[in-house]
Amino acid sequence: MKFKLIVLLLFAALVSCAFVAADDFYLRSIEGKTIKLSDFRGKTVFLHFWATWCPPCREELPYIQKFYKKQNVLMVSLDKNEADVKKFMKKNGFTFAVALDPDGKIARKYGVTGIPTTFVINDKGIIIDKTVGARDWNK
CA distances to 20, 39, 129 from 50, rounded to whole Å, are: 22, 20, 17
The pTM is what?
0.84
Assigned domain for 94 exists:
yes
pLDDT of residue 137: 82
Asked whether residue 91 is domain-assigned, the answer is: yes
Asked if residue 102 belongs to a domain, the reply is yes
Q: Is residue 12 part of a domain?
A: no
Q: What is the mean pLDDT of each run of 10 residues along the chain (139 residues)?
A: 40 52 95 94 96 97 91 96 97 95 97 97 96 89
**Helix (H/G/I), strand (E/B), else coil: 46:** strand
Domain assignment of residue 56, given as a range: 21-132
Q: Is residue 124 domain-resident?
A: yes
Residue 74 sits in a domain whose CATH number is 3.40.30.10
The tally of domains found in the chain comes to 1
DSSP secondary structure string for all residues of 97-135? -EEE-TT-HHHHHTT--SSSEEEEE-TTSEEEEEEES--
Q: Report yes or no on 11 lying in a domain.
A: no
Position 44 in a domain: yes
Tell me whether residue 7 is in a domain.
no
The pLDDT of residue 14? 42
pLDDT of residue 12: 40
pLDDT number for residue 19 = 76
Burial class (CB in 10 A: 0-12, 13-18, 19+), 78: buried
